[in-house]
Amino acid sequence: RCLCVGVDLLKRVLRFPLKSISVQLQVQDHVASVSSSLQYINEEDRPLEAVFVFPLPADAAVCHFSARIGEQEIVAEVQDKQSARDQYDDAVSSGQQAFLLEESDQSSDYSSSVGSTSCVRVSFFRPASAAGVPEVSSASVVPYTLSLSVEVRSSDRISRLESSCPLDPLEFLDAQHTHATVNLSAGHRFDKDVELLLYYENTHQPTAVVEAGAAAAQSGSLMGDPALMISLYPEFPADVMSSLASQGEFIFVVDRSGSMGCEMHHGKDAQKRIESARDTLLLLLKSLPMGCYFNIYGFGSRFESFFPQSVVYSEDAMEEALRRVKSMNADMGGTEILRPLKHIYSQPCYTDHPRQLFVFTDGEVWNTKEVLDLVKSQVFSHRWCEYGSRHRNGQRRFRLDGQYKMFRSLRFALQPAVDNISVDWTVPEGVTVEMLSPPISALFQGQRALIYAQIKGQSSGETEGAVTVKYRLKDQPATNQLQFTLLTIHWLAARSVIRSLELQDRAGGAAGVENIRSRIVELSVQAGVSSVHTAFIGVNKDSRQTVKGPLLQRRVLTERKFTDAVRISKKKKLRIHTCTVHFPSVPFPHLFIWRLVLRRSRRARLKRPPFVLPEPELQKDPLLQLVSLQKAVGCWELNAALAGVFGKTEDEVTNHRPAQVDGSVWATVLALIWLYSYKLDQQVEWQFVAMKAASWICSQKPGGLSQCVCDGNLLLGSQLTEDTLGI
């Protein structure tokens, strides 16, 4: 029955099918202008009202929405949302052709109601390069086509442009290779994402660009004054990348809702999700450096923390945390992540210890907009990392995902961050600069910051200026002085201010809310940029042919994704803008959300004998047994439990110990040999455990270390060197 209903609905949808998609992408330095035209045809014999969802990145500034009716193009204007809705309803009910575009209150998706029209065009600006095309799950023939044209202009030399899909040859339009065009080759099969990799030279050089105010806008307003954008993308040298910092505050937020008690899969010996969370926490806790701060939160319908506030990482604190991790169960009800996040963000940060959140969840977050707004408001003081999100009818959900990604990214979490960031202005007399972006306290490797400012006042002479950006990386100061060039950024600056006001609107009480909302509407209408309190409305008042009869509504379901990332070429140190062009977007492009790693789902787990409560780690696989025995400082003690991991007795291990070597050094060397010999395929998970161990051995300055490694190889049947072990 369900299948028949589904087929019937599909047929109805296809009677208002998508026929073609045309995307024009213009990239100017670090700003992308995207224009997507979607052609629909009403194949029914009655007038239709088509409703479709157009997911966009959260930082996109929608500046244009239009519909083509025959040969006439109707351009929408921004109005207060309720007024736009009323005008749309009045127009459609009176037989006029109309269309409406509004932002969702719960996400950055845009839904459009289009009464009796066939072609819509949406244009937006955003930081970094991006374009949007539908993704189809198979390589089957689809009833629509795609054309994609790209134009790139840059103050920096363009090295090359690559794609996961066939492109026409890249054509440079100037000798300096700062202006180029390229098109997607005809006949795209929709069997893969369209990914564009744009390589620039001098990738880490900060840039500052300024745009003159609009002539028609009132002087002193945001659109009337010059606007400036600074792009800051610090370079992390190789010696910084290879070192691990002892600073940092690491907070683990674990979903303990009822669904975490479900099994990972339906196969034999399937592990429960909460069990996998406990295993992952064990590995993460053992990987932390001495001297950092940490805490663990569990959440569901309520939340609780292991410690009232983050504590210094020590042997006692780690053991206490592991003891409580063992008793964590999926017993806290629903999935309410907003309240624990608000509590965490309200806690003061420790000086020189950047806060980093690791979120473990498999649940669906219903209040996505509030969660994203809260996280975005803390982006330059806290790090939150994400892997994977599930989408249903355009609504974003968080889900359990990631495998090795958490451990790969832990290296970045343990590296030093850029801090002490300051911006100083040199401007002519009579000119002032007003910052439009919130202050930045820290930047992490791979993270780019965009700073917006409004230039106010008048100068009698030339209005040339400069901005000096200073910051510190691992106690080394850096200074960059930047000159101004021309670029279109007003829409992005306006969007930045609107987003800040929207955060105040949702966070504030009754007092002042109306003033904030009035300011949002005023700025949105003035700039022609959408907000949650406005909408694009267009009415074809010139149409002489009225729509007769009630409009039938059809939901146009377009399953799309959109991701945006930045990659760094290690060999040539080039900036690569990665645009995985499928909708909807990862909710916040310069953030990463850590997701629960569920690697051990395929591993068998021994059943506990009745009425016996053995230590949980003794029932885990050998790797987890080994890691659970490591001390916080990085060493192991020589005992029967450790010997059991190696498949030896305690006497065997003790009798092979070199006479001049301490028992803990011998045990730690054996642990390293075993890891590199028998668990190399899982190195991502234990690499930080091994780094701590190697650092501890070196700090002991033991004699006879070469002989120790040689004897360890004989005992465990290996042939490893001290260099391989990092000692």
Chain position carrying tokens 């100068």: 459
What confidence category does residue 703 fall into, taking pLDDT thresholds of 50, 70 and 90? confident
Distances (CA, A) of 370 to 332, 503, 534: 21, 9, 18
What confidence category does residue 466 fall into, taking pLDDT thresholds of 50, 70 and 90? confident
Of the given ranges (169-178, 315-324, 412-421, 557-566), which has the lowest mean pLDDT? 557-566
Mean pLDDT for the stretch of residues 79-107? 82
Ordered DSSP codes for 242-282: T---S--EEEEEEE-SGGGGSBS-SSTTPPBHHHHHHHHHH
Of the given ranges (486-495, 601-610, 666-675), which has the lowest mean pLDDT? 601-610
Q: Coil, strand, or helix at residue 236? A: coil
The letter for the amino acid at 365 is V
Of residues 411, 470, 478, 447, the one with CA closest to residue 240: 411
Identify the pLDDT of residue 460.
61
Identify the pLDDT of residue 164.
83
The pLDDT of residue 279 is above 80? yes
Identify the pLDDT of residue 579.
29
Identify the pLDDT of residue 544.
52
The pLDDT of residue 472 is above 80? yes
What pairs with residue 174 in β-bridges?
none
The pLDDT of residue 7 is above 50? no
Q: What are the residues whose beta carbons fall under 8 Å from the beta carbon of 573, sequence distance 6 or more?
A: 203, 204, 235
Mean pLDDT for the stretch of residues 19-45? 83
For the chain, what's the residue count? 727
Mean pLDDT of the chain: 75
Mean pLDDT for the stretch of residues 442-449? 78
The pLDDT of residue 42 is above 80? no
pLDDT digits (tens, 9 = 90+) for 215-257: 677 878 888 888 888 888 888 887 776 666 667 889 999 999 8
The residue with greater pLDDT, 346 or 589, is 346
CA atoms in the 13 A half-sphere facing the CB of 143: 11
Identify the pLDDT of residue 442.
76
Is residue 261 within 8 A of residue 329, CB to CB? The reply is yes
Q: How far apart are CA 60 and CA 492, in angstroms?
A: 8
Q: What are the residues whose beta carbons fall under 8 Å from the beta carbon of 553, sequence distance 6 or more?
A: 48, 49, 50, 51
The pLDDT of residue 13 is above 70? no
The pLDDT of residue 390 is above 60? no
What confidence category does residue 89 fall into, taking pLDDT thresholds of 50, 70 and 90? confident
Of the given ranges (284-288, 648-652, 673-677), which has the lowest mean pLDDT? 284-288
CA atoms in the 13 A half-sphere facing the CB of 253: 31
pLDDT digits (tens, 9 = 90+) for 280-333: 889 889 989 888 999 999 999 999 999 999 999 999 999 999 999 999 999 998
Q: CB count, 10 Å around CB of 8?
A: 10
Distance of alpha carbon 560 from its chain centroid, rounded? 17
Identify the pLDDT of residue 545.
55
The pLDDT of residue 174 is above 60? yes
The pLDDT of residue 561 is above 60? no
What confidence category does residue 571 fall into, taking pLDDT thresholds of 50, 70 and 90? very low
Chain position carrying tokens 């000119």: 431
Distances (CA, A) of 174 to 154, 180, 184: 11, 8, 21
Identify the pLDDT of residue 312.
95
pLDDT digits (tens, 9 = 90+) for 114-165: 655 567 888 877 775 444 444 444 445 677 888 999 999 888 899 888 888 8
Q: How far apart are CA 470 and CA 205, in angstroms?
A: 13
Chain position carrying tokens 């002991």: 700
Q: Which pair of structure tokens corresponds to residue 264?
A: 């990972």
Of residues 325, 260, 241, 105, the one with CA closest to residue 595: 260
The pLDDT of residue 531 is above 70? yes
The pLDDT of residue 276 is above 80? yes
Identify the pLDDT of residue 244.
62
Identify the pLDDT of residue 596.
28
Mean pLDDT for the stretch of residues 81-105? 83
Identify the pLDDT of residue 116.
53
Q: How far apart are CA 479 and CA 633, in angstroms?
A: 37
The domain at 247-416+591-602 falls in which architecture? 3-Layer(aba) Sandwich (3.40)
Q: How far apart are CA 163 and CA 469, in angstroms?
A: 34
Strand order, beta sheet including 158-163: 158-163, 194-200, 575-581, 563-568
Is residue 178 within 8 A of residue 157, CB to CB? The reply is yes
The residue with greater pLDDT, 506 or 198, is 198
The residue with greater pLDDT, 279 or 388, is 279
Mean pLDDT for the stretch of residues 622-627? 92
Identify the pLDDT of residue 137.
41
Ordered DSSP codes for 299-326: ESSSEEESSSS-EE--HHHHHHHHHHHH
State the distance between the two ends of the chain, measured CA to CA, in whole angstroms.
66
Report H helices in 533-680. 622-629, 640-645, 650-655, 663-678
The residue with greater pLDDT, 462 or 68, is 68
Identify the pLDDT of residue 549.
52
The residue with greater pLDDT, 3 or 663, is 663
Q: How far apart are CA 76 and CA 87, in angstroms?
A: 12
704 conformational bin, left if phi > 0, alpha if psi -120 to 50, beta if neither: left
Q: How far apart are CA 590 and CA 598, in angstroms?
A: 24
CATH 3.40.50.410 intervals, the chain: 247-416+591-602
The residue with greater pLDDT, 41 or 131, is 41
**What angle do helix axes 683-700 and 663-678 make, rounded to 10 degrees?**
150
The residue with greater pLDDT, 302 or 543, is 302
Q: CB count, 10 Å around CB of 567?
A: 13
What confidence category does residue 392 fall into, taking pLDDT thresholds of 50, 70 and 90? very low
Of residues 473, 467, 573, the one with CA closest to residue 204: 573
The residue with greater pLDDT, 574 or 536, is 536
Identify the pLDDT of residue 690.
93
The pLDDT of residue 659 is above 80? yes
Identify the pLDDT of residue 30.
77
Identify the pLDDT of residue 412.
65
Q: What is the CA radius of gyration of the chain?
A: 29
Highest mean pLDDT among 59-63, 99-103, 615-619: 99-103
